[in-house]
Structure 1
Amino acid sequence: MPPPQPRTHKAKPPSPEPRPSSSILLISPENKILLLHRVKTSSSFASAHVFPGGNLSSQDGPIPAPSSPERHVDSPVYRLGAIRECFEESGILLARHRDGGGMLEVPDAERERARRAIHSGEEKFSEWVKKMGGVVDADALLPFTRWITPTSVPRRFTTQMYVYFWPLSGAGQDAKIPIGGDAMIPTPTSDGGLEHTAAVFQSCATWLEQARRNEIIMFPPQFYLMWLLGKFFEEGKGGAMELRVQREKVKEFLKGSGANGVPWADKVMSPVPLGMFEGRAVLNLDHPGPELKGSGRRGESGHVVQVRFSKEGPRDVEVRDAVEMKRLMGEAKGKL
């Protein structure tokens, strides 16, 4: 009888490297926020409502290598990628006249032609903006956390989030939404069904309520960031002075920090489960992900996100106080 053979353990395959991407929380002159409804056939975030954004492209500039410390920090390549993707996906161009004027105006027909050409790689976004007499408004992007997909998910991203305030006054484009006098913003449109079926501005409160009623799918990062901003944008207060005050409060908030003292611009979040409570997963937001282990960077310790994952996507999403939730989970565990 042959001697027993030692058990062999299959090596766990390495988790996929997160792809660099960036997204924009685009705020209209009414202080409403833009979400895009992704097609149900999408390979990521199918049927969900998301901020405009996507993967970086070589046309955005040199993309930091996986081993580079610049891979997971705000930089010009992330900013250009965010603005390019916003234009491709919604038709809204975040660029100013090169001569120092207001927002760059582009005729509808040329804008739609350029969206298709840039998406297909036939034309380079930055060169087209320059040809139109403009300059990309990258400096106006305000960094607002980075999210790294957990290793349990097969398609991973390292996503830099930004806030952009469309000016409260200034020239707009042909297809316009008049807001508060002479302030204009182009009407957002879908990309023709390539990746999105709708592009709509609504208040943070309206979007959050639709998500809570499970009328739309919103993933934890989008829900959490909108929940944070929604506290500053009160509906029914649409005067120019009040709109400006709301924006200034958001800017001051972004300069500050959360429960662990890390500035919002520097927070890195890779949600990991703390456990289950009342049938929903409780996600810790203070973990930066394995790529940044030992870097000293962190997420946010003051809140957790509670969510029920289903085949169709995340449902019953809500933000909870971290200390209170851990107390409730501890009490529930003690009763078992």
Structure 2
Amino acid sequence: MLARPAARTARTLLLSTTRRTIHRTAMPAASSSRPPNKGPSLSASLVLLAPLPAPAPDGHDYRVLLLKRHAQSRTYDSAHVMPGGNIDPIDLDSAAWASFFPSASKASPPSTSSLIADKLLALRLCAIRETFEESGLLLLKQQASSVNSPQSRWNGLDPEEKTRWREAVHEDGKEFIQLLRRLGGTVEPGAEAKPAVDSLTHWSNWVTPVLLPRRFDTHFFISVLPSPEASGSGIDTSASTTAVHDSLVSSDGVETTSADWLTPLEAIKRAVAHPARRGENASPQPPSDIEPILLHPPQFNLLAELAHNHRTLASLLDSSASSATPLVRPRRVVPLTPQIANVMDDQGRERKATVLPGDEEYQYDDEAVGSAPGVDRAGKRNRTYVIPPRKGQQGLVVEGCIRRGMVEVLGEGWEDMWAGEAGRAGEGAKL
């Protein structure tokens, strides 16, 4: 059994974390007389896909992990999000990770990303660490043998000890390295348990609009879990399709209140059924068997493109990858900073939207992507139709989204898609 990170019980840790969260939430908002923020906080989030042993009724052969934020959260309250959070000093400490990734500083980042190698590694580490803290799922690099591997050692721990490690990492990011070393056992330097950073593909970069007081520069990564049949995965392959992977995750009960595996299409349908959308453009009242969820624009868009263009994992995976671990095919990643504007949809209705680079209504800086002379943006769409928040509600309520003509602007991987009330006319107007 691994050494305990602290002598406190899981209940004591949970209560202390709860008190700390309540205190943080109750702090007053920053005074308008204070100087403006220096810039958005750097953060990372993980779009985690879990293969299904058989396709779901809607045709998807995988599900996506979504966590419901606590109602008292300072950001995204009550919304479903992908696991993630702000970067921690330990993620950026290249010396601390030198024995795990000795050649990281010499590695070249993929041509699809503008990040330098060290920053890309730090963000991947952040996404994996935050996923562990928020869901309890520890993503480790697969080894040839699963016998006494770091993954099997972790799977063999009792739930209370797993909780203690999870809370210890939440308290101090440096404990994440201690956990990895413990799982690696007595091994030669460089052979420790390693975070599965190579399984994460840099997928998207969303930056909070400039006009908002709290801003984030969030890099989304996408990764695929081993199949249910994979040896040492810790997954009960006899379980039903609705229960597969459920035992691997749990909410922390403080920042999040539930951990759900949903197909992208299921998530979209539940999002457009949210009661906050009951406006003049909203769809009829949804069937009573649909449990609504709240998705904000970045998460809605990411799930919409999966629902529209990628019903199967095969359509996402890089067939040229030499690794045995499923790897999502990379694409060009550019900063997407939404601009809130009143626009006309394809049916001539005036609506409020957050427009993204490439959209005909997007206002560019001189050197921003898509602003080059000769790019005809007439009729191009890269936007999310939204409803202003009600009193006391954080964020914008999404009606639908549409992306059209972005391959010409952003390149392969940014194919047309739409979902919800996307402003299209005629057959197939909605996903």
Q: Give the TM-score normalised by the residue count of structure 1.
A: 0.73
Q: Using a 3 Å threshold, how does the CA distance of structure 1 residues 176 and 154 change in structure 2: closer, same or farther? A: farther
Match of residue 171 from structure 1: 231
Per-residue CA distance 1:109-164 (angstroms, 9 max, x = gap): 33211110000117521331232122100010011110111111111011110111
Match of residue 6 from structure 1: none
Per-residue CA distance 1:182-211 (angstroms, 9 max, x = gap): xx74431001x2210001101111110010
SS at 2:194's partner residue?
A: strand
Contact 1:25–1:162 (CA<8 Å) still a contact in 2?
yes
Deviation at 1:180, TM superposition (A): 8.9
Match of residue 207 from structure 1: 267
Report matched runs for 1:259-270 at 5 Å.
264-270=331-337
Q: Give the TM-score normalised by the residue count of structure 2.
A: 0.58
Alpha-carbon distance between aligned partners in 2 of 1:14 and 1:149, rounded to the nearest angstrom? 15
Q: Using a 3 Å threshold, how does the CA distance of structure 1 residues 100 and 137 change in structure 2: closer, same or farther? A: farther
Match of residue 127 from structure 2: 82
Match of residue 225 from structure 1: 302
Contact 1:177–1:187 (CA<8 Å) still a contact in 2?
no
Which segments of 5 or more consecutive residues in structure 2 lack a partner in the other structure?
A: 1-32, 53-61, 95-113, 185-192, 275-291, 322-329, 372-376, 406-415, 425-431
Match of residue 284 from structure 1: 355
Deviation at 1:274, TM superposition (A): 3.4
Select 1:310's aligned residue among 389, 395, 402. Answer: 389
Deviation at 1:59, TM superposition (A): 1.4
Deviation at 1:171, TM superposition (A): 3.4
Query: Identity of aligned pairs, percent?
Result: 25
Alpha-carbon distance between aligned partners in 2 of 1:72 and 1:16, rounded to the nearest angstrom? 24
Match of residue 242 from structure 1: none
Deviation at 1:15, TM superposition (A): 5.0
Select 2:163's aligned residue among 107, 112, 134. Answer: 112
Select 2:207's aligned residue among 139, 148, 166. Answer: 148
Select 1:139's aligned residue among 193, 198, 202. Answer: 198
Deviation at 1:96, TM superposition (A): 2.9
Match of residue 29 from structure 1: 51
Contact 1:118–1:125 (CA<8 Å) still a contact in 2?
yes
Match of residue 94 from structure 1: 139
Q: Does 1:54 pair with 2:85?
A: yes
Report matched runs for 1:233-244 at 5 Å.
233-234=310-311
Match of residue 332 from structure 1: none
SS at 1:199's partner residue?
A: strand
Deviates more, 1:168-177 or 1:124-133: 168-177
Contact 2:207–2:218 (CA<8 Å) still a contact in 1?
yes
Select 2:217's aligned residue among 158, 165, 176. Answer: 158
Select 1:126's aligned residue among 162, 177, 200. Answer: 177
Deviation at 1:231, TM superposition (A): 2.5
Which segments of 5 or more consecutive residues in structure 1 lack a partner in the other structure?
A: 1-10, 64-68, 235-245, 256-262, 330-336
Q: Does 1:247 pair with 2:313?
A: yes
Alpha-carbon distance between aligned partners in 1 of 2:240 and 2:262, rounded to the nearest angstrom? 16
Deviation at 1:267, TM superposition (A): 2.2
Per-residue CA distance 1:265-301 (angstroms, 9 max, x = gap): 422101102314557422211179xxx9566546996
SS at 2:141's partner residue?
A: strand
Task: Read off the aligned partner of 2:335 and give its amino acid letter.
Answer: V
Contact 1:145–1:266 (CA<8 Å) still a contact in 2?
yes
Deviates more, 1:306-315 or 1:140-149: 306-315
Q: Using a 3 Å threshold, how does the CA distance of structure 1 residues 117 and 208 change in structure 2: closer, same or farther? A: same
Q: Using a 3 Å threshold, how does the CA distance of structure 1 residues 25 and 179 change in structure 2: closer, same or farther? A: farther
Select 1:38's aligned residue among 69, 86, 89. Answer: 69
Contact 1:103–1:171 (CA<8 Å) still a contact in 2?
no
Q: CA RMSD in A?
A: 3.8
Contact 1:146–1:161 (CA<8 Å) still a contact in 2?
yes
Match of residue 110 from structure 2: none
Alpha-carbon distance between aligned partners in 1 of 2:350 and 2:93, rounded to the nearest angstrom? 44
Task: Read off the aligned partner of 1:84 and give its amino acid letter.
Answer: R
Contact 2:68–2:256 (CA<8 Å) still a contact in 1?
yes
The number of equivalent residue pairs is 288
SS at 2:77's partner residue?
A: coil
Match of residue 249 from structure 2: 188
Alpha-carbon distance between aligned partners in 1 of 2:164 and 2:216, rounded to the nearest angstrom? 29
